[in-house]
Structure formats: C-alpha cells, structure tokens
C-alpha cells in the first residue's frame, strides 16, 4: 500500500491549490479493502474540496465543496469529514438504546461515489452500520437502485 | 498475442510522457530528467493474453512514476495511465505475494511453476500462481485477499460486482471492441511513423518541442447562453436532501437551469422516490421514467432523451450546445456541466478527457468535481434535455 506522503505528493498534480492538501485518508469498502485515497483540501477549518486517487494512485476526481473559487461559504466544517470524534457525534442520533459504536472509518454507502463514514455499531439488535456524510446520518440498506 | 513487445512499450511510454509534459498535462518539473525503465512488466487479462505493460519511471535512483502501455487493442489506446509518485517494484510484490500465500497451506503456491500479474477486474491487479497452466491461487495486489473463482452469473457484460474476476477481453461488446481496435491501431501507427532521432525513453520535453504540435486545451462549461460574451459559468449545485435522492437532486439542477423551480419533495413525488420521511432510490427498472417525469414537469417544454452508455463526444456535443446533462453511474446520479480535452499532434488522438460534474452527494451539500477522469468512470445512462421551440 502506498504511504500517505506518496499519496499526498501524487495528489498535488491534480489540484490548483496544492498548499491546501491535508493528510490522506484511506477509503475502505465494507470488507476493509482499500477502495481509494481521499486527500482533503482545507482552508480556514473548512473542507473546501478533495482529491480522490485510486489505490494505484490514478486520479479519480478532484471535487470542490465551494461553489465559487474564492469563497468558502457553504463548505462543511473540516471536522465533519476528518475528525472521527465528530463523526461519532453525528452518528449518535441514529443509534438505538443499548448500542455501542466501534471506530468509524471512511468508506462509502453501496457505491464509491457515495462517500461516507461507516460507524460499526453493535448491541441488542445485532451488528449494523451507521453511515455519516457531513451532518447527515442514516442506517440500513440505502437503496436498491440509484440514490 | 501482444500487439507490441516490451522494447516498443518503453519507446512509446517515453514519447507519451515527453508529449504530455510538454503540453502541460503532466507537471513538467515532476518528470523532467526522468527515464523510463527498460523492465516492462506484462499484466495479463483473465483470458491469459497480455493486456498491458507497466513500466517504472526513474530519476537517478528514485522512482517517480509508473506508466501503463496497452499491449492489447481492446484497451483502445496505447497509453492507459500515468501515475505520478507511484512506485512499481514487481519483484518485491511477487515476493510479498509468495510470502502471504505461503502462510495459507491450502493454496499450495509452493508447487507453482509460473507466477504472473493479472488484471482480474481491470484496472484492479492480482498475482496469479499457476502450475502447468492451471491456477493454484490468485491474490489481489496490496490487500492480498484471495480472489474468488469465476462464477456463472446472470449479469450484463462489464457490470461486475466489486470483488469478482472477469475478462476485459472477452466481455467487451463486439461493437466497442471494433471501435477500440481501430483507435488503438491508428495511434500505434502514428507512433510507428514518428520520425525522430531523440532517445524516447529519456524525459526531456523541451527537446521535443519541434516534434509535437500542441493545440490548445478544448474546454467549456455551461454558461448563460451560447453567445461568447455571455460565457460566465451559469449552473448551480444542489445537494440531495435525503441519502437516496440523487436522482431528484440531479433533476432539480437540470430544471433550475431552465428556470423550472421545483422542490426535491415535489420531484420525488413525480419520480416515485417516496417522501422526505420515508425516501427511496430510483430502481434500475425505472430509469426510463426520468424522461416522462421531466417532460411532464415542463409541460413538454423540454424534449428529454435517455442515452445508454454515453460516450465522451455526446457529453461534449451537449455542453457545446449549452445543455447540461443528467449522468447515471453505477448506483448514483449526477449532472454534467462542462468538459475538458487536450490534443497533441502527431501522436495523440485521445489524451486527457475530463468532465465537470455537479454531484449532489454528500447529502445537503454536494460537490463540484473538476475534473472527473473520463477514463476511470463507468457511464451507464445520460439524459439530454432540449428546449422545444415553436
């Protein structure tokens, strides 16, 4: 597996704001396999965008939360996507009484385009996954089609 | 049989890297002074044919990139990928695979008389252990998970599951196969006609300035109108309001552009996506319903068409006409509002192609993807919308 410094330096080629690149996070599928690398771009504690690279470091996409180049307005707080503690806080309303959460990991719900944190939870209802994307949390099978 | 040998693969890799660096598609300072390694690792298709070669790019003692050169016409272009910063050490990887597989006594890889790299689910690569041409085991690169044996599945070609082995060579539909073979042959011929005394495998782009003719990057995004003076980006992002309303949000973006204002709740009602309290995604069996819903919501003011497996030129044509599209990829819907493309003569016909994607995911936010590498995504359906005129 590529080391994170190598991932970040590879991401530099795919953004016009390389100075904003932060620490890469591994995106894993529900079997724990590496699906891609998420390299965040952060400005003023806001997640303004990210570069996504495949495991072999091929460019997948460069995406921006900011709608306009010079404004961070509307961009989510970086902690929503980069801080596991904040992710857990957002997952909590979806958890039922008696359930406890294991460590969250960056993943996706169903298909790689639907990036989300996965929070494995266990308890009286058996193991399941709560997904968190920004401040939105949900659980269960999301969709059988396009969502 | 491979269309080219490792020596020619090295030559082509060098020419491509020099051209891309000169054109500014690759960062010049990252590649200048590098050299394409003489060792070309064959990567096989599941069918056994050599699909492509992977070569390292080194500068002094440091690996700075890898480049994949197609050996099979099914890939449609000699250059498949350039991965800056990626190290490629096949011997170390084979050693690691042997070590991991050796720990699992059931795999019996000690009896192998051949070990090779296989694109078990292109572009995903695995290490395959064989004895007498029969597979003993296949381990996915880096994760070292055992790739399950092939199963007979009732599915469409090129729509594999996430961890399934399948052959790009045998699953490619005949028509696409012919188109790709022609494109590949054309580009290969252009390479073979290239008349230059320069040592191709050395990356020294400035020395190639007289050889290549770099044309401007062709790029456009949705604007207010087609008049050049109005070419200010004019398209807005809408985040999906539930975790399964990507189609609703995509429809909203497209309709907003034409000044039809609908809430996602109303669009969900029309598209059969449930309510905000109890939402559902659009079933695959209902993809055609997007056409009727959009036409109904605009009183037939928009003439909507669904395209299956849309190609890049279709996206380009629509954007050039200032018409955004809805794009379905596996399990998800987004809209496309721009494209970029670079041309490098005489060796290039299809270099970097990217789409400007307004993606409603994540919920309540969405992202603007600039650019999505067209070569790495699967485009299942697209919807064009044309204003009907009296």
Comparing B388 with B157, the larger pLDDT belongs to B388
User: Do A10 and B84 lie within an 8 Å CB cutoff?
Assistant: yes
CA distance A99 to A129: 11
Residues on chain B touching A9 (C-beta within 8 angstroms): 84-85
Taking the CA of residue A71 and the nearest CA in chain B, the distance in Å comes to 14
ipTM of the complex: 0.76
Using 50, 70 and 90 to split pLDDT, how confident is the model at B216? low
User: Do B363 and A59 lie within an 8 Å CB cutoff?
Assistant: no
Judgement on whether residues A70 and A45 belong to the same structural domain of the protein: yes
Domain ranges, residue B4? 1-211
Task: From B195, B211, B227, give the residue that closes a domain.
Answer: B211
Note whether residue A121 is domain-resident.
yes
Mutate to test the interface with A, among B243, B247, B329, B356 (most CBs of A within 10 A): B243
Is A130 a residue whose pLDDT tops 90? yes
Report the pLDDT value the prediction gives residue B348, as an integer from 0 to 100. 58
Is B315 a residue whose pLDDT tops 90? yes
Taking the CA of residue A98 and the nearest CA in chain B, the distance in Å comes to 24
Judgement on whether residues B251 and B343 belong to the same structural domain of the protein: yes
Note whether residue A147 is domain-resident.
no
Partner B contacted by A17 (CB < 8 A): no
User: Do A145 and B281 lie within an 8 Å CB cutoff?
Assistant: yes
Note whether residue A146 is domain-resident.
no
Chain A residue with CA closest to B125: the answer is: A56
Of A9, A67, A134, the CB nearest to B363: A134
Judgement on whether residues A68 and A94 belong to the same structural domain of the protein: no
Note whether residue A145 is domain-resident.
no
Backbone angles phi, psi at B318, to 5 degrees: -65, -45
Query: How far is C-alpha A81 from the chain's CA centre?
Result: 6
Report the pLDDT value the prediction gives residue B152, as an integer from 0 to 100. 75
Lowest mean pLDDT across A5-9, A142-146, B92-96, B369-373: A142-146
Judgement on whether residues B196 and B257 belong to the same structural domain of the protein: no
Partner B contacted by A56 (CB < 8 A): yes
Using 50, 70 and 90 to split pLDDT, how confident is the model at B163? low
User: Do B243 and A133 lie within an 8 Å CB cutoff?
Assistant: yes
Judgement on whether residues B252 and B368 belong to the same structural domain of the protein: yes
Judgement on whether residues B65 and B176 belong to the same structural domain of the protein: yes
CA distance B239 to B322: 22
Residues on chain B touching A50 (C-beta within 8 angstroms): 367
Note whether residue A128 is domain-resident.
yes
Tokens matching residue A24: 């890469």
Of B83, B247, B330, the CB nearest to A111: B330
Per the structure, the count of domains in chain B is: 2
User: Do B30 and A33 lie within an 8 Å CB cutoff?
Assistant: no
Taking residues B50-56, what's their average pLDDT? 95
Report the pLDDT value the prediction gives residue A106, as an integer from 0 to 100. 98
Q: Which of B81-85, B356-360, B366-370 has the highest mean pLDDT?
A: B356-360
Judgement on whether residues B226 and B184 belong to the same structural domain of the protein: no
Judgement on whether residues B83 and B192 belong to the same structural domain of the protein: yes
Lowest mean pLDDT across A51-65, A100-114, A129-143, B90-104: A129-143
Is A127 a residue whose pLDDT tops 60? yes
Judgement on whether residues B186 and B320 belong to the same structural domain of the protein: no
Backbone angles phi, psi at B256, to 5 degrees: -60, -40
- pLDDT tens, position by position, A95-112: 999 999 999 999 999 889
Note whether residue A21 is domain-resident.
yes
pTM: 0.61
Residues on chain B touching A58 (C-beta within 8 angstroms): 81, 83, 123, 373, 376
Helix segments in chain B, DSSP class H? 6-23, 28-31, 90-102, 168-171, 174-193, 246-257, 264-271, 289-297, 312-320
Judgement on whether residues A66 and A104 belong to the same structural domain of the protein: no
Comparing A1 with B75, the larger pLDDT belongs to B75
- Measuring CA to CA, which residue among B86, B15, B120, B89 is closest to residue B351? B15
Judgement on whether residues B259 and B380 belong to the same structural domain of the protein: yes
Domain ranges, residue A20? 4-77
Is B177 a residue whose pLDDT tops 60? yes
Task: From A29, A44, A77, give the residue that closes a domain.
Answer: A77
Task: From A57, A77, A97, give the residue that closes a domain.
Answer: A77
Taking residues A72-96, what's their average pLDDT? 95
Judgement on whether residues A14 and A64 belong to the same structural domain of the protein: yes
Report the pLDDT value the prediction gives residue B26, as an integer from 0 to 100. 66
Report the pLDDT value the prediction gives residue B119, as an integer from 0 to 100. 92
Answer for the pair A127, A120: CB distance below 8 angstroms, yes or no: yes
Is B161 a residue whose pLDDT tops 80? no
Judgement on whether residues B262 and B129 belong to the same structural domain of the protein: no
Is B217 a residue whose pLDDT tops 70? no
Report the pLDDT value the prediction gives residue B160, as an integer from 0 to 100. 62
User: Do A145 and B284 lie within an 8 Å CB cutoff?
Assistant: yes
Per-residue DSSP letters for B302-321?
Answer: EEEEEEES--HHHHHHHHHT
Per the structure, the count of domains in chain A is: 2
Comparing B52 with B140, the larger pLDDT belongs to B52
User: Do A114 and B142 lie within an 8 Å CB cutoff?
Assistant: no
CA distance B223 to B219: 12
- Measuring CA to CA, which residue among B44, B98, B38, B96 is closest to residue B74? B44
Taking the CA of residue B80 and the nearest CA in chain A, the distance in Å comes to 10
Mutate to test the interface with A, among B244, B334, B351, B380 (most CBs of A within 10 A): B244
Is B154 a residue whose pLDDT tops 90? no
Mean residue pLDDT of chain B comes to 88
Is A142 a residue whose pLDDT tops 70? no
Taking residues A15-40, what's their average pLDDT? 93
Using 50, 70 and 90 to split pLDDT, how confident is the model at B351? low
Comparing B190 with B161, the larger pLDDT belongs to B190
Judgement on whether residues B39 and B126 belong to the same structural domain of the protein: yes
CATH of the domain at B320: 3.90.70.10
Report the pLDDT value the prediction gives residue B155, as an integer from 0 to 100. 75
Cα dihedral across residues A88, A93, A94, A100: positive or negative: positive
Using 50, 70 and 90 to split pLDDT, how confident is the model at A94? very high
Task: From B196, B211, B226, give the residue that closes a domain.
Answer: B211
Task: From B182, B211, B240, give the residue that closes a domain.
Answer: B211
Hey, which residues 102-141 in chain A have their CB within 8 Å of chain B?
A: 109-111, 113-116, 131, 133-136, 138
Taking residues B70-93, what's their average pLDDT? 83
Is B81 a residue whose pLDDT tops 90? no
Judgement on whether residues B254 and B330 belong to the same structural domain of the protein: yes
Comparing B195 with A108, the larger pLDDT belongs to A108
Partner B contacted by A71 (CB < 8 A): no
Note whether residue A87 is domain-resident.
yes
Judgement on whether residues A17 and A68 belong to the same structural domain of the protein: yes
Whether residue B371 is preceded by a cis peptide bond, meaning omega within 30 degrees of 0, is: yes
Per-residue DSSP letters for B18-82?
Answer: HHHHHHTSS-HHHHTT-EEEEEEEEEEETTSSEEEEEEEEEETTEEEEEEEEE-SGGGSSSEEEE
Count of pairs with CB atoms under 8 A, one residue in A, one in B? 152
Judgement on whether residues A45 and A62 belong to the same structural domain of the protein: yes
Comparing B25 with B208, the larger pLDDT belongs to B208
Report the pLDDT value the prediction gives residue B164, as an integer from 0 to 100. 79
Task: From A52, A77, A102, give the residue that closes a domain.
Answer: A77
End-to-end CA distance of chain B: 57
CA angle in degrees (0–180, nearest 5) for B150-B68-B314: 80
Report the share of chain B in percent with pLDDT over 90.
51
Judgement on whether residues B198 and B226 belong to the same structural domain of the protein: no
User: Do B367 and A143 lie within an 8 Å CB cutoff?
Assistant: no
Q: Count CB atoms within 10 A of the CB of residue A40.
A: 19
User: Going by C-beta distance under 8 Å and a sequence separation of 6 or more, which residues neighbour residue B27?
Assistant: A12, A13, B21, B84
- pLDDT tens, position by position, B366-387: 999 887 878 778 898 999 999 9
- Measuring CA to CA, which residue among B212, B191, B203, B214 is closest to residue B12? B191
User: Do A65 and B365 lie within an 8 Å CB cutoff?
Assistant: yes
Judgement on whether residues A90 and A73 belong to the same structural domain of the protein: no
User: Do B376 and A60 lie within an 8 Å CB cutoff?
Assistant: yes
User: Do A31 and B145 lie within an 8 Å CB cutoff?
Assistant: yes
């Amino acid at each position: 597996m590529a080391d994170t410094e190598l991932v970040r330096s590879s991401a530099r080629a795919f953004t016009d704001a390389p100075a904003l690149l932060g620490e890469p996070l591994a995106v894993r599928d529900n079997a724990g396999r590496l699906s891609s690398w998420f390299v965040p771009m952060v400005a003023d504690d806001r997640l303004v965008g990210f570069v996504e690279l495949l495991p072999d470091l091929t460019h997948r996409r460069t995406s921006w939360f900011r709608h306009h180049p010079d404004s961070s307005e509307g961009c989510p707080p970086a902690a929503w996507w980069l801080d596991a503690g904040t992710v857990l806080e957002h997952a909590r309303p979806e958890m039922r009484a008696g359930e406890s959460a294991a460590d969250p990991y960056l993943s996706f719900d169903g298909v790689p385009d639907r990036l989300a944190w996965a929070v494995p939870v266990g308890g009286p209802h058996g193991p399941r996954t709560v997904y968190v994307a920004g401040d939105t949390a949900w659980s269960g099978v999301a969709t059988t089609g396009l969502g | 049989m491979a269309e080219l040998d490792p020596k020619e693969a090295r030559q082509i890799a060098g020419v491509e890297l020099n051209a891309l660096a000169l054109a500014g598609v690759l960062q010049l300072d990252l590649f200048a002074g590098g050299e394409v390694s003489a060792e070309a690792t064959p990567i096989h298709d599941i069918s056994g044919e050599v699909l492509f070669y992977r070569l390292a790019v080194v500068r002094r003692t440091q690996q700075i990139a890898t480049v994949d050169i197609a050996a099979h016409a099914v890939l449609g272009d000699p250059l498949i990928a350039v991965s800056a910063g990626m190290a490629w050490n096949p011997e170390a990887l084979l050693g690691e695979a042997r070590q991991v597989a050796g720990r699992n006594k059931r795999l019996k890889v000690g009896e192998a008389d051949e070990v090779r790299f296989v694109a078990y689910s292109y572009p995903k690569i695995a290490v395959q252990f064989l004895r007498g041409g029969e597979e003993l085991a296949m381990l996915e690169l880096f994760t070292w998970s055992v790739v399950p044996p092939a199963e007979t599945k009732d599915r469409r070609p090129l729509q594999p599951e996430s961890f399934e082995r399948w052959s790009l060579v045998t699953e490619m539909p005949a028509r696409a196969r012919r188109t790709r073979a022609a494109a590949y042959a054309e580009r290969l011929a252009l390479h073979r006609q290239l008349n230059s005394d320069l040592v191709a495998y050395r990356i020294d782009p400035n020395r190639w300035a007289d050889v290549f003719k770099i044309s401007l990057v062709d790029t456009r995004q949705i604007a207010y109108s087609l008049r050049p003076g109005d070419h200010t980006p004019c398209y807005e992002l809408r985040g999906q309001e539930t975790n399964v309303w990507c189609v609703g949000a995509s429809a909203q973006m497209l309709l907003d552009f034409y000044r039809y204002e609908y809430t996602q709740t109303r669009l969900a009602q029309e598209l059969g996506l449930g309510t905000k309290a109890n939402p559902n995604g659009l079933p695959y069996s209902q993809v055609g319903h997007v056409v009727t819903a959009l036409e109904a919501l605009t009183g037939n003011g928009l003439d909507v068409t669904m395209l299956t497996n849309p190609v890049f030129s279709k996206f380009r044509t629509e954007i050039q006409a200032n018409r955004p599209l809805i794009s379905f990829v596996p399990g998800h819907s987004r809209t496309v509002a721009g494209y970029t493309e670079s041309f490098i003569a005489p060796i290039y016909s299809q270099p970097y192609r990217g789409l400007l994607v307004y993606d409603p995911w994540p919920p309540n936010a969405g992202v603007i993807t600039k650019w999505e590498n067209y070569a790495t995504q699967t485009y299942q359906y697209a919807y064009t919308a044309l204003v009907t005129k009296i």
